Amino acid sequence: MKCRVCREPAVIDIRRHNANFCSDHFMRYCRDQATKTIKEFEMAHQGDRLLVAVSGGKDSLALWDILLELGWDVDGLYVGLGIGDYSDVSGDYVRSFFEAFAEPRGAKLIEVDLRATHGYDVPTASVATGRTPCSACGLSKRHLFDAAARDGAYDVLLTGHNLDDEAAVLYGNVMRWQVDYLARQRPMLAAGNGFPKKAKPLVRLSERETAAYCVLRGIDYQVDECPMAVGNRHLEYKNALGAAEEASPGMKQAFYFGYLREAVDLFATRPAPEGEAGEANTSLIPCDTCGSPTNGDPSGAATCAFCRLSQRSAAAEPVPVELLKTRRR
């Protein structure tokens, strides 16, 4: 097995591209894929200030490193979600990466702790609001990411979603024909409705590739899945697609990019809902608590979904993550 570029011994094979690479050319391949994606979807322009949301996992740390390597002006944002030991360990990985790879190249790390700033954590919010943990987490993260990008006047907020993530989300949205979600499933959402521009430059890399990138680059990362996500539908969809990819290498990429090429525009006929960048939505009003655009809550008050969750969760008795894991069975 030889590197496609230099014919030296290869360390990885990418079946869907029918290609093998040595370590150096594999890392260059990853950066090239990110560059191609950034250009194609106009994710960022020269001189932009970027903010990448980092979780301590392989995808987001690989993304931060790749963007720094490519010469972008890119800071990191870490949100402590209070998911027990998992969050503690995740934060340690982020800080180690920052010290070794980012700070030396002049980047900053912004840290926000959910309990310190808003008085609650994800397990507590899940119980207090009756949302699934993933739903409470997603709503909280989106709000804090948006606020940090706005407060720091960043031009683009970036996340490390990879091809497997995006294909699995698409698969779930298609299986249930969730047309509102389908309409918004793009690797770049323009700024709008008071929200920052959002982009996912790693949608051309599989999770096997982001993991290999970290290993070859010497980046340590949180390997465990979030304990609250175990058994969720997203992982089911990933498994279904994984089996299909195994049988037909390239089907995942064909499925996701085929959607972007052939179908997403057919779905994208509605204005963005509350709490989302993209198409202008003139029916939104400012949240009376945080000022973010909102549809208002069902009772008629102009309080956004995040502030409603935040208020109920901060008033609730803290729930340790271990208790929630038991309750979910």
The Cα–Cα gap between 52 and 170 comes to 23
> Looking at beta carbons only, is 119 or 271 nearer to a copy of itself?
271
Residue closer to a copy of itself, measured from CB, 153 or 243? 243
279 belongs to the binding site for a copy of itself (CB under 8 A)? no
| Residue 203, both tokens | 């949608």
Distances (CA, A) of 22 to 1, 10, 29, 278: 9, 4, 10, 40
Which segment (80-88, 147-155, 246-254, 321-329) binds a copy of itself by CB under 8 A?
Answer: 246-254
Query: Closer to a copy of itself at the Cβ: 175 or 315?
Result: 175
* Bridge partners (DSSP) listed for residue 72: none
Nearest partner of 281 among 148, 153, 210, 192, judged by Cα: 192
Out of 191, 251, 302, 314, point to the residue binding a copy of itself (CB under 8 A).
251
Residue with smaller CB distance to a copy of itself, 29 or 267: 267
Residues in region 155-194 near a copy of itself by CB under 8 A: 174-177, 179
Binding mask 212-241 for a copy of itself (x = CB under 8 A): ------------------------x---x-
Both tokens of 12, joined, read 């990885």
Minimum CB–partner distance for residue 34 and a copy of itself (Å): 24
Among 9, 104, 250, 258, binds a copy of itself (CB under 8 A): 258
Which of residues 71, 153, 231, 262 is near a copy of itself by CB under 8 A?
262
Cα Rg, the chain, nearest whole Å: 20
Q: Is the dihedral angle over the CA atoms 15, 19, 23, 24 positive or is it negative?
A: negative
259 part of the interface to a copy of itself, by CB under 8 A: yes
Handedness of CA 83, 87, 62, 16 (dihedral sign): negative
Asked whether position 270 contacts a copy of itself by CB under 8 A, the answer is: no
Our CB check for a copy of itself shows the closer of 215 and 263 to be 263
The string of DSSP codes covering 139-194 is: HHHHHHHHHHHHHTT-SEEE----HHHHHHHHHHHHHTT-HHHHHT--SEE--BTT
CB of 178 to a copy of itself, least distance (A): 8
Cβ pair 185, 170 in contact under 8 A: yes
255 lies in the binding site for a copy of itself (CB under 8 A):
yes
Q: Are 7 and 21 in contact (CB under 8 A)?
A: no
Beta bridge partners of 117: none
Among the residue ranges 32-40, 113-121, 143-151, 249-257, the one whose residues contact a copy of itself (CB under 8 A): 249-257
Q: Which residues bind a copy of itself (CB under 8 A)?
A: 174-177, 179, 236, 240, 243-244, 247, 251, 254-255, 258-259, 261-263, 266-267
